[in-house]
Structure 1
Amino acid sequence: MRKSILALLALALVLSLGGAAFAAKDTLVVADQYDATTLDPIRHNDYPSSRACHQIYDTLIFLNDDGSFRPGLAEKWEFVSGTAYKMYLRKGVKFHNGEELKAVDVKFSLERATTELGAQIKTYSQDLKEVEIVDDYTVILHLKKENFPFFASLSHSWGSIVNKKEVEAQGENYGTPAGTAVGTGPFKFGKWDKGDKYTFERYDDYWDGKAQYKTLVVRSIPEPTARTVGLETGEVDIAYPTTTTELKRVEENPDLVLQRKPLASTTYMGFNTTKKPFDDPRVRQAFNAAIDTVGIQKAVFRGVGKTPRTLIPSNIKYSINDEIPEHKRDLEAAKKLFAEAGVKTDGWKVQIWTNERKERVDMATIIQAQLQELGITAEIKVLEWGAYLDGLKKKEHDMFLLGWGLSVPDPDYAVAGLLETGAGTNYTFFSDAKLDELLAKGRAMSDGPERAQVYKDMQLFINEQCPMLFLHNDESLVGVQKKLKGFSSSPFDVHTFYTASFEE
Structure 2
Amino acid sequence: MLKKIVAAFAVSFFAWCLPLHAADLTMGMAFDVTSMDPHYHLVGPNVNVSMHIFDFLVTPDREKGKLIPGLAESWSVVDELTWEFKLRKGVKFHDGSEFTAEDVAYSFDRPATILNSPGPFTLYTKQIAEKIIVDKYTIRFKTAKPYALMLSDVSNVFIVSKKATAGLSSEDFNSGKGVVGTGPYKFVQWKRGDRVELARNDSYWGKRPQWDRVSLRMLTTPSARVAALLAGDVQVIEGVPPADIAQLKANPDARLFSTVSNRLIFLEVDQLRDKSPYVTDKNGKQLDKNPLKDLRVRQAISKAINRAAIVDRVMEGNAIATGQLLPEGYFGTLPGLKADIADIAAAKKLLADAGYADGFGLTIHGPSDRYVNDAKIIQTIAQMLTRIGIVTKVEALPSAVFFSRMSKQEFSVMMLGWGGGLGHVSTFVKSMLTTYNAEKGWGTGNYGRYSNPKVDAFAEQALATIDTGKQEKLWQQASQLALSEFGLIPLHHQVNVWATRKGYAYFPRTDERSLAMEVSGK
1:414 aligned to 2:428?
A: yes
Q: Is the 8 A contact 2:269 2:412 kept in 1?
A: yes
Distance 1:464 1:68, change over 3 A: closer
> What per-residue deviation string (whole Å, max 9, x for no partner) do you get for residues 293-350 of structure 1?
2322222222223111122331412211x4235422222332232233333544x321
Deviation at 1:55, TM superposition (A): 0.5
The structure 2 residue matched to 1:323, chosen from 323, 333, 336, is 336
**How far apart, CA to CA, are the structure 2 residues paired with 1:452 and 1:219?**
40
SS of the residue corresponding to residue 29 of structure 1 reads strand
User: What is the match of residue 418 of structure 2?
Assistant: 404
Equivalence for 1:226: 224
Pair 1:342 & 2:340 matched? no
- Per the alignment, residue 379 of structure 1 pairs with 393
CA distance in 2 between counterparts of 1:279 and 1:190 reads: 49
Alignment of 1:69-108 (within 5 A): 69-108=67-106
Counterparts of 2:502 and 2:112 in 1: how far apart (Å)? 43
Aligned to 1:269: 267
* Equivalent residue in structure 1 for 2:38, among 26, 38, 41: 41
Mark the runs of 5 or more structure 1 residues left unpaired by the alignment.
1-23
What root-mean-square deviation, in Å, do the aligned CA atoms of Structure 1 and Structure 2 show? Answer: 2.2
Q: 1:76 deviation in Å?
A: 2.2
Query: Match of 2:120, as an amino acid?
Result: Q
Q: Deviations over 1:395-429 (max 9, x none)?
A: 22121111111122222013222222223222222
Q: Deviations over 1:227-249 (max 9, x none)?
A: 11111111111111112111112
* Aligned residues of 2:299 and 2:486 also touching (Cα < 8 A): yes
Compared CA separation, residues 189 and 479, structure 1 to 2 (3 A): same
Moved more, 327-336 or 189-198: 327-336
The alpha carbon displacement at 1:164 in A equals 0.7
Q: 1:447 Cα shift?
A: 4.5
Paired residues of 2:332 and 2:475 also in contact (CA < 8 A):
yes
Corresponding residue for residue 354 of structure 1:
366
- Name the CA shift for 1:66/1:394 in 2 (closer, same or farther; >3 Å): closer
CA displacement at 1:89 relative to structure 2: 1.4
In 1, the alpha carbon distance for the partners of 2:176 and 2:328 equals 42
CA contact (8 A) 1:312 1:459 kept: no
For residues 236 and 102 of structure 1, what CA distance do their matches in structure 2 show? Answer: 38
SS at match of 1:264: strand
Instruction: Using the TM superposition, give the Cα deviation of residue 101 of structure 1 relative to its aligned residue in structure 2, in angstroms.
Output: 0.6
- Residues 192, 198 of structure 1: 8 Å contact kept: yes
Aligned to 1:138: 138
- Name which of 502, 507, 510 aligns with 1:491: 510
Q: Give the whole-Å Cα distance in 2 for the aligned partners of 1:99 and 1:146.
A: 35
The answer on whether the counterparts of 1:297 and 1:471 sit within 8 Å (CA) in structure 2 is no
- In 2, distance between residues paired with 1:293 and 1:244? 16
What is the TM-score normalised by the length of structure 1?
0.88
Q: Which residue of 1 aligns with 2:58?
A: 61
Structure number with the bigger relative contact order (C-alpha 8 A, sep ≥ 6) is 2
Among the aligned pairs, what percent are the same residue? Answer: 26
> What stretches of structure 2 of length at least 5 have no aligned partner?
1-20, 277-289, 437-442
- Indicate the residue corresponding to 2:314 in structure 1: 300
- Residue deviations 1:128-184, cap 9 Å, x none? 11221111111112222222122133222xx21101122114234343246441111
Q: Distance in 1 between matches of 2:36 and 2:80?
A: 32
Distance 1:384 1:490, change over 3 A: same
Query: Which residue identity does 1:493 align to in structure 2?
Result: E
Distance between the aligned counterparts of 1:477 and 1:282, measured in 2?
A: 37
Distance 1:394 1:254, change over 3 A: same
1:224, distance to aligned residue in structure 2 (A)? 1.3
Structure 1 residues 93 and 366, CA gap change in structure 2 (3 angstroms): same
The residue number in structure 2 matching 1:311 is: 325
1:252 counterpart (242, 250, 253): 250
Note if contact 1:57-1:184 (Cα within 8 Å) is conserved in structure 2. yes
Corresponding position of 1:439: 459
CA distance in 1, matches of 2:480, 2:423: 20
Partner of 2:149: 149
- 2-side partners of 1:169 and 1:466: how far apart? 43
Structure 1 residues 326 and 185: CA distance shift in structure 2, 3 A = closer
| 1:149–1:410 contact (8 Å) kept in structure 2 | no
Amino acid across the alignment from 1:41? P
Answer yes or no: is 1:203 the counterpart of 2:181. Answer: no
Q: CA 1:364/1:171 → structure 2, altered by over 3 Å: closer, same or farther?
A: closer
Q: Is residue 114–residue 170 contact of structure 2 (8 Å, CA) maintained in 1?
A: no
